[in-house]
Amino acid sequence: CKVHKICVLPGDGIGPEIMEVATQALSVAGGKEGETFEYKQCLIGGAAIDATGKPLPDETLEVAKQSNAVLLAAIGGYKWDTLPSAQRPERGLLAIRAGLNAFANLRPAIVPRQLADSSPLKRELVEGVDILIVRELVGGIYFGQPRGFGTNEKGERIGYNTDVYSEPEVERIARVAFEAARKRGKRLCSVEKSNVLEVSQLWKEVVIRVGAEYPDVELSHMYIDNAAMQLLRNPKYFDVIVTGNIFGDILSDEASMLAGSLGLLPSASISGSGPGIYEPVHGSAPDIAGKDLANPLAMVLSAAMMCRYDLAIPKVADRLEAAVNAVLDAGLRTADIYKAGTPNTRLVKCSEMGAELMKHL
């Protein structure tokens, strides 16, 4: 038992409301296991822009680096949408990922049995789906140089970006994915576009090489366009998916819709050495901010992932996850996951969901 230093970034929109529930739940669950948390709250995103002019103040990154893990709620909102893109809230997100070298984004796409009917896909296709998407998060076209605006040889104005991966970058993300697959269904699908792109050919080559060290994991390869199809045609085919930054952005959002709602999906962005970033998949939902309508469960499940990965206190994670299951079994539903007419369910506010959750901890 020790004190875990958590950098808390509530961010914008519904962020503060759901963070409130998550830190409370974490403290209670931790208490039962003799674990203590010390929270340092910092600014990021729109809130940071308003207060300091920057989406990621230096102080926030400093505190984050000195913590054991970072809990991030959500950033962005209409208010900052008209700023030049280099000063927008999203930049804070990209900057903290890069600043902490959080290169591996783990996004489970699980269809909770209590909500299988809210998937846009037919129930028989999604029931039991349990996919882990491992997305490279600090490389590829998001960060590749050169990038910018210029003119081509015809004198026409152009915009350009570079999609680039180095061998060590692919190697480390491949290792994270193989290790994860080894602990799960032992199947890994690497997604790229090697029939067209050199960056993907390097990707595939390195993944195959690393795969030789994991003979117990079945490795397959799929083009991104086909993966976007197969995720709908037969989602149960997938166990772990590993892919680059932009393909991972697209695929993980597509996969999250299998669950019908983003309201229960957590994510972890880990670095292997320093603190990781734990955040829900959903956004800041500015339209419902401050109205006590938000769903805090994905934030709570993100805190659970934090306990499991960075803090290595799996019993606290178990408690948090069990409590989420219990409130869902009890039929409690925030507006985003409520479907009028479903028997034994009840529409609740964010604060009520939080209060019920505490009872089950």
Ligand X SMILES: CC(C)[C@H](C(=O)O)[C@@H](O)C(=O)O
Interacting residue ranges for a second copy, rule: CB under 8 A:
85, 88, 90, 94, 120-122, 125, 141-142, 144, 147-149, 152, 154, 156-168, 193-203, 224-226, 228-229, 231-233, 246-247, 249-254, 256-257
* 254 contributes a contact to ligand X by CB under 6 A: no
Could you say which DSSP state residue 239 is in? Answer: S
In this structure, how many other beta carbons lie within 10 angstroms of the beta carbon of residue 264?
Answer: 26
| From 65, 130, 249, 292, the catalytic residue | 249
**Contact 16/285 with Cβ under 8 angstroms?**
no
Q: Which does 359 bind (CB under 5 to 8 A by kind): a second copy, ligand X, none?
A: none
| From 12, 193, 309, 310, the catalytic residue | 193
Q: Minimum distance between the CB of residue 193 and ligand X, rounded to whole angstroms?
A: 7
Residue 78 falls in the annotated catalytic set: no
Q: How far is CA 115 from the centre of its chain?
A: 20
Binding ligand X (rule: CB under 6 A), the pick from 3, 196, 208, 229 is 196
In this structure, how many other beta carbons lie within 10 angstroms of the beta carbon of residue 15?
Answer: 29
Q: Minimum distance between the CB of residue 60 and ligand X, rounded to whole angstroms?
A: 17
Reading the block at residue 43, the tokens are 């600014």
Place of tokens 């199947």: 187
Reading the block at residue 81, the tokens are 């949408």
Q: Of 175 and 186, which CB lies nearer to a second copy in the complex structure?
A: 175
Q: Minimum distance between the CB of residue 195 and ligand X, rounded to whole angstroms?
A: 5
Instruction: State the Cα–Cα distance between residues 265 and 299, nearest whole angstrom.
Output: 8
* 85 contributes a contact to ligand X by CB under 6 A: no
Residue 5 falls in the annotated catalytic set: no
Instruction: State the Cα–Cα distance between residues 132 and 185, nearest whole angstrom.
Output: 10
Cα–Cα distances (Å) from 36 to 9, 18, 139, 186, 276, in that order, read 18, 20, 35, 35, 18
Q: Minimum distance between the CB of residue 87 and a second copy, rounded to whole angstroms?
A: 12
Q: Which does 326 bind (CB under 5 to 8 A by kind): ligand X, a second copy, none?
A: none
> Of 62, 56, 47, which Cα lies nearest the Cα of 11?
47
Q: Of 244 and 274, which CB lies nearer to ligand X in the complex structure?
A: 244
> Of 64, 71, 61, which Cα lies nearest the Cα of 91?
61
Binding ligand X (rule: CB under 6 A), the pick from 33, 90, 218, 318 is 90
Catalytic residue IDs? 142, 193, 225, 249, 253
Residues of this chain that interact with ligand X (CB under 6 A) are 90, 93-94, 195-196, 225, 249
